[in-house]
A and B are shown apart, each in its own frame.
Chain A
Amino acid sequence: MEILVCARRVPDTSENEIELNNSGNDIERDDLVYSINEPDNYAVEEALQIVAREGGHVTVVTVGSEEDEEVLRREMAMGANQAVLLSDEAFNGSDGQGIATILKAYIVKNHYDLILTGVQAEDGAAQVGGMLAALLDYPYASLVNSIQVLDAKKLKVSREIEGGSKEVNEIDLPCVLSIQTGINEPRYVGMRGIRQVASVEIPTLGLGELGVDAGAVGEAAAKVKRVDYFVPVAGKGAEILQGKREEIITKLIELMKAKGGLK
């Protein structure tokens, strides 16, 4: 099975406190720790496990810039066979439909049986996978938390619905699935693995090579644009307990007793 995984490099929210920059038009990006978007990493692991069972190849693709190569290399160190960077100044400022349009252009020039995305990017809208499927006229399932290959033409997938319940579907190939965290246990990537792929050539394709219509991507085509970031004014907000740790603990114990949290 030929599998394409769409992946993105994002600021890692578990490693950073996200703050606004001085002009409020963006988050403060200096000193941010970036990593692969969490569900995308699960998607790569899932692709590797399917290929280990069924045969085939895993390709990882990102729409971005040179800086994003680091996540492609990381996923190659994990075991992906190839990586591709789709990059062009004309792509800057694309909205979700623009990103999906660029990915589609790459996909129709190649052959993939299965395309995986993450459910949502940290600063995203859980949209690119569903848009890509509609552009390709492939079936789509979101929030996928298990995949079973039934035969060369179809999969059995389950989707995560409310309260931890699952919705089981059969879906025809080729298809697009958005992968939810927790579907598997992504393998560890060590420094050694990263070093081994450090000098692998990663092909970069731009507007011309992909045959993307310049009018369909980039800022001018974007129907949805972020204007600025702000920190919402909190409601009443928590009463922050102040003082030495012992004092805070004494106060907290009193409060919890009063509220029935301690017998």
Chain B
Amino acid sequence: MARIFAYIEHKDGLANDSAIEFLGTAKKIDPAVSPTAIVAGFGAGLDTTCNSLLNSYAEVWKVAHEALAYPNAELVRQALVAILPAGCILLVPHDHFGIDLSPGLSIDTNSAFASDVVDIEGVEGNSLKLVRQEFGGQVSAHVRCDISSGAILNIRPGAFKPQETLALNAVLVDKSAEVGTLTAKRRFVETIIADGGGVDISKEPVLVSVGRGIQEKDNLAIVQELADAMGAVVSCSRPVVDAKWLEKSRQVGSSGKTVKPKVYLACGISGSFQHLAGIKGNPFLVAINKNPKAPIFQVADVGIVDDILEFLPELTSQIRETCCVSAGK
């Protein structure tokens, strides 16, 4: 069976949660294989990360290189091409870094590539059977991957249960010397942190969140009126921000804000994993959607199958009549 590697993302000396999840992923591919962690970077944070991984990974490969102080995927790719043995399986988080790194790496290593993997069904000979989702999570697909010349698998964060294995006599292998010089035609300049302007939805206890189901900018008034009646704040899914109907600071999700409300009303939101990734703290989740098969109903506590353009105004007037909060917070 192929050797399995886990690419570890890390920051300030801390490994990303994917590190322990990948132990579970690797077990599902082959329970007999003990995966090897690969950690690239430079400086003290790199060493701290490597040492912490020695508790759970039997082998950790360290790649220290000044050019990798910032994880520019174009440079990391070159480093991996230099050290990965032929025919191996590499697990990478399916996030902005994995999306940047892995497709090209699969070409350079002549491996199969699968992305946003949510489950592994097993291996038969050279064929790895896995599960991914398509069409915004409305349907799942079984995919067969020919791993005879290796595979790069981008794994959805949170899809595999963290596995707390205890590694005994773990070894740290310094691979830095094998990397050689790294030069890229793409150079990292700076990171611009999202400005905290506007409302801070991350601290609001009650959110009325609106998605593409609202259909037109003018219809947003319906949602604002409901939020006012409830004493809540309006948040939204990405398409509403893409259309410039609401500010970016209102967006919930992996590329927006993480929120931790007590109550979350998802109105005309399908429930993509990128959106759900921003909802933490297990709120009471109400979904209102006209499609009874919308994925959001799989995760909501309470579902209402209806047209939001009709349902929300009626809900608002009912709340105004029966509740003590006056309209207009």
Q: Which of B29-37, B39-47, B164-172, B239-247 faces chain A?
A: B239-247
Distance between Cα atoms of A19 and B133 in the complex (Å): 13
CB proximity of A83 to chain B, nearest CB, Å: 25
B239-265: which residues lie under 8 A (CB-CB) from chain A? 239, 241-242, 244, 248-249, 251, 254-258, 262-263, 265
Distance between Cα atoms of A243 and B127 in the complex (Å): 49
Q: Which of B18-26, B58-66, B96-104, B216-224 faces chain A?
A: B96-104
> Per-residue CB proximity of B133-158 to A under 8 Å, as 1/0?
11110111111111001000000000
With contacts A125-B116, A249-B315 taken as known, whether A262 is within 8 angstroms of B323 at the C-beta atoms is yes
Q: Are B129 and A227 in contact (CB under 8 A)?
A: yes
Option from B105, B115, B193 in Cβ contact (under 8 Å) with A165: B193
CB proximity of A38 to chain B, nearest CB, Å: 8
Option from B72, B302, B305 in Cβ contact (under 8 Å) with A252: B302
A139 within 8 A of B: yes
Residues from chain A with a CB closer than 8 A to the CB of B177 are none
Q: Are A227 and B238 in contact (CB under 8 A)?
A: no
Residues from chain A with a CB closer than 8 A to the CB of B111 are 223
CB proximity of A154 to chain B, nearest CB, Å: 9
Residues from chain A with a CB closer than 8 A to the CB of B306 are 245, 248
CB proximity of B263 to chain A, nearest CB, Å: 3
CB proximity of A233 to chain B, nearest CB, Å: 9
With contacts A97-B107, A249-B314 taken as known, whether A240 is within 8 angstroms of B297 at the C-beta atoms is yes
A54 within 8 A of B: no
CB proximity of A163 to chain B, nearest CB, Å: 6
Residues from chain B with a CB closer than 8 A to the CB of A227 are 129, 141-144
Residues from chain A with a CB closer than 8 A to the CB of B254 are 162
With contacts A166-B192, A255-B284 taken as known, whether A131 is within 8 angstroms of B106 at the C-beta atoms is yes
Option from A165, A223, A238, A245 in Cβ contact (under 8 Å) with B287: A238
Look across to chain A and name the residue whose beta carbon is closest to the beta carbon of B310. Answer: A245
B12 within 8 A of A: no
Q: Are B139 and A231 in contact (CB under 8 A)?
A: yes
With contacts A182-B241, A248-B304, A249-B315 taken as known, whether A13 is within 8 angstroms of B322 at the C-beta atoms is no
B285-326: which residues lie under 8 A (CB-CB) from chain A? 285-287, 291-293, 296-306, 310-311, 314-315, 318-319, 322-325
Q: Are A141 and B186 in contact (CB under 8 A)?
A: yes
With contacts A122-B135, A139-B186, A142-B99 taken as known, whether A262 is within 8 angstroms of B319 at the C-beta atoms is yes
Q: Are A126 and B103 in contact (CB under 8 A)?
A: yes
Interface size, chain A (Cβ < 8 Å): 83
Look across to chain A and name the residue whose beta carbon is closest to the beta carbon of B192. Answer: A166
Residues from chain A with a CB closer than 8 A to the CB of B205 are 260
Residues from chain A with a CB closer than 8 A to the CB of B146 are 223-224
Residues from chain B with a CB closer than 8 A to the CB of A159 are 96, 100
B114 within 8 A of A: yes
Distance between Cα atoms of A139 and B212 in the complex (Å): 34
Residues from chain A with a CB closer than 8 A to the CB of B256 are 163-164
Option from A163, A224, A238 in Cβ contact (under 8 Å) with B301: A238
Q: Are A17 and B113 in contact (CB under 8 A)?
A: no
Residues from chain A with a CB closer than 8 A to the CB of B322 are 253
Residues from chain A with a CB closer than 8 A to the CB of B187 are 169-171
B69 within 8 A of A: no
Look across to chain B and name the residue whose beta carbon is closest to the beta carbon of A141. Answer: B186
Q: List 16 A-B contacts (CB under 8 A).
A: A123-B134, A125-B103, A125-B115, A126-B116, A130-B99, A142-B100, A156-B189, A164-B248, A166-B191, A170-B186, A172-B186, A181-B238, A185-B244, A223-B111, A229-B139, A238-B287
**16 additional A-B residue pairs with CB within 8 Å, beyond A125-B113, A128-B103, A259-B284:** A130-B102, A142-B99, A165-B191, A165-B194, A167-B190, A170-B189, A182-B241, A223-B145, A225-B143, A231-B140, A231-B293, A245-B306, A252-B302, A252-B315, A253-B318, A259-B262
Chain A residues packing against B (C-beta within 8 Å): 11, 13-14, 17-20, 27, 96-97, 100, 119, 122-123, 125-131, 133-135, 138-143, 156, 158-172, 175, 178, 181-182, 185, 223-232, 234-235, 237-241, 245-246, 248-250, 252-253, 255-257, 259-263
Chain B residues packing against A (C-beta within 8 Å): 72-74, 95-96, 99-108, 111-116, 129, 132-136, 138-146, 149, 184-194, 205-206, 212, 230-232, 238-239, 241-242, 244, 248-249, 251, 254-258, 262-263, 265, 270, 284-287, 291-293, 296-306, 310-311, 314-315, 318-319, 322-325
Minimum-distance CB pairs A-B, first 8: A130-B103, A261-B263, A238-B303, A182-B242, A164-B194, A134-B104, A134-B107, A139-B185
